[in-house]
Amino acid sequence: MEEGDEKVKRVITYGTFDLLHYGHINLLRRAKEYGDYLIVALSTDQFNWNEKQKKCYFDYEKRKTLLEAIRYVDLVIPEENWEQKKTDVHEYHVDTFVMGDDWEGKFDFLKEEGVEVVYLSRTPEISSTQIKNDLKR
């Protein structure tokens, strides 16, 4: 995927993106600013439940459809395990790996794969957990 002589800069981020909110949109917009092509690795329902003990409100296909409708997102792929990040950055020719700063330092090992690793600050006043807690009240 070359445009003229310019190399397309590819960015990847990972997440569950359940109960999509403006904090997610903010993260995706800012991630896209690091390149031309944004890949979102979306946690599958099985991965969320088995590895993260997280139950989603929306199933994988619905979350995928929502993400694909966002103009910053170019491709959505399934995240099925913790280990795939290393293979994904090579398979998708990723230049920059972006995550929220609540993961600060956890993915620095990807720098050894030749990838820039960026941790973005979260949108302070919003999170899916916050929404769930507010709705319970």
Confidence (pTM):
0.88
Q: Is 52 a catalytic residue?
A: yes
Say which amino acid occupies 40: V
Specify whether the CB–CB gap between 38 and 73 falls below 8 A. yes
What value does the mean pLDDT take over residues 47-63? 89
Q: Which two tokens stand for residue 14?
A: 């990972």
* Pairwise CA distance, residues 33 & 27, whole Å: 10
Give the residue-averaged pLDDT of 34-59: 92
**Of residues 52, 106, 111, 132, which has the active-site annotation?**
52
Per-residue pLDDT reduced to its tens digit, 90-129: 999 999 999 999 899 999 999 999 999 999 998 777 777 7
Task: Encode pLDDT of 66-90 as tens digits.
Answer: 999 999 999 999 999 999 999 999 9
Tell me how many degrees the CA angle 37-39-42 measures, rounded to the nearest 5: 165
Candidates 7, 32, 54, 86; catalytic one: 54
Q: How far apart are the first and last CA of the chain?
A: 49
* Predicted local confidence at residue 28, as pLDDT: 97
3-state secondary structure at position 81: coil
